[in-house]
Amino acid sequence: MPKNLLEQLRAYTVVVADTGDIEAMEKFRPQDATTNPSLIAAAAQMPQYQTIVNGVLVEARKELGASAAAQAVANLAFQRLAIAFGIKILEIVPGRVSTEVDARLSFDTAGTTAQARSIIAQYDREGIGRERILIKIASTWEGIRAAEVLEREGIHCNLTLLFGLHQAIAAAEAGVTLVSPFVGRILDWYKKDTGKDFHGADDPGVISVTAVYNYYKKFSYKTQVMGASFRNIGEITELAGCDLLTISPTLLAELEATQAELPRKLDPAAAQGLPIEKIAVDKAAFDKMHAEDRMATDKLKEGIEGFSAALVKLETLLANRLAELEAKVPTSA
């Protein structure tokens, strides 16, 4: 009787939980965890996390004072909430948590750098070392430049919303710790664009991540590849052997419940022997390759807009919660 797919996958690949749900992490015990504004917003509405949310709001109000606008308190509370969930997550996972910079700063190198340093400082005040934190930044040219600065300061980065090889090469050349190519979102785009369905090794998301992995291993980059945004377990099994895979609780449960043989698909030794040409990616080349890649152009724009909208939604939710709290207990400066 073979082991289940999840057990076998762990032999080849570091399994990461793609969720803000603490209970799901306690169940599956991943090595690392990733969050994003959508996941934090979902977790913030769960009854079991209301104490965390309320505590963050009270502290943000105290810090900014009674005269501060509710929106300003909500914005600060969002940043603190991501840290609060990160701290809870790190009590469960033995490895790292990814905490995201505000997606609205995706084209602002200085703003991204400043917020990343602030996130690290907040974790530091809680006694959590930077070796356990990955700062999640969108894979724009400006985001990659911010990550380059941060990595030189010993702040490790996870470049997210990565859809094209040009983004991956620029990130590796910048010395980032980790990239997160979005498998399922690539599949979504091709299904919509072609009207076809794709399966297994023919999945365009699988093909894209495989190309990034092989390029990195061929040229001995230290940057690791973490496939993300899966639509089905077939995508995951085709990427067995990838450095890391970040997987939702639903798909983790499906992997755990499935008994089948899982052969390794990605291997660094095999990549070394592949005939891959090295590509120089400066800003001009990055912009040209990005403009020529309709999928990467569309999905990066859509991803940034989606995460930004999730932030606005979360800040509105927090502002409303703050109003409810303050209606019950008058706040003093």
DSSP states along 173-185? HTT-SEEEEBHHH
Residue 235: both structure tokens together: 């995508």
CA–CA distance, 261 with 124 (Å, rounded to integer)? 43
Cβ atoms within 10 A of the Cβ of 243, count?
20
Give me the residues paired with residue 245 across strands: 15, 227
CA–CA distance, 43 with 58 (Å, rounded to integer)? 18
Q: Which of 114, 2, 125, 110 is nearest to 59 (CA)?
A: 125
CA–CA distance, 33 with 44 (Å, rounded to integer)? 17
- Let me know if 313 is a catalytic residue: no
Catalytic one among 27, 62, 88, 136? Answer: 136
Indicate the helix (H) or strand (E) that contains 57.
helix 50-64
Task: Kindly give, in sequence order, each residue whose CB lies less than 8 Å from that of residue 16, ignoring residues fewer than 6 positions away.
Answer: 30, 31, 32, 33, 34, 226, 244, 245, 246, 247
Residue type, 182: F
CA–CA distance, 225 with 230 (Å, rounded to integer)? 14
Spell 192-223 as b/e; 16+ CB within 10 A means b. Answer: eeeeeebeeeebbbbbbbbbbbbbbbbeebeb
As to burial, measured by CB atoms within 10 angstroms (0-12 exposed, 13-18 middle, 19+ buried), residue 59 is middle
Spell 145-170 as b/e; 16+ CB within 10 A means b. Answer: bbbbbbbeeebbbbbbbbbbbbbbbb
As to burial, measured by CB atoms within 10 angstroms (0-12 exposed, 13-18 middle, 19+ buried), residue 282 is exposed
Catalytic residues: 136
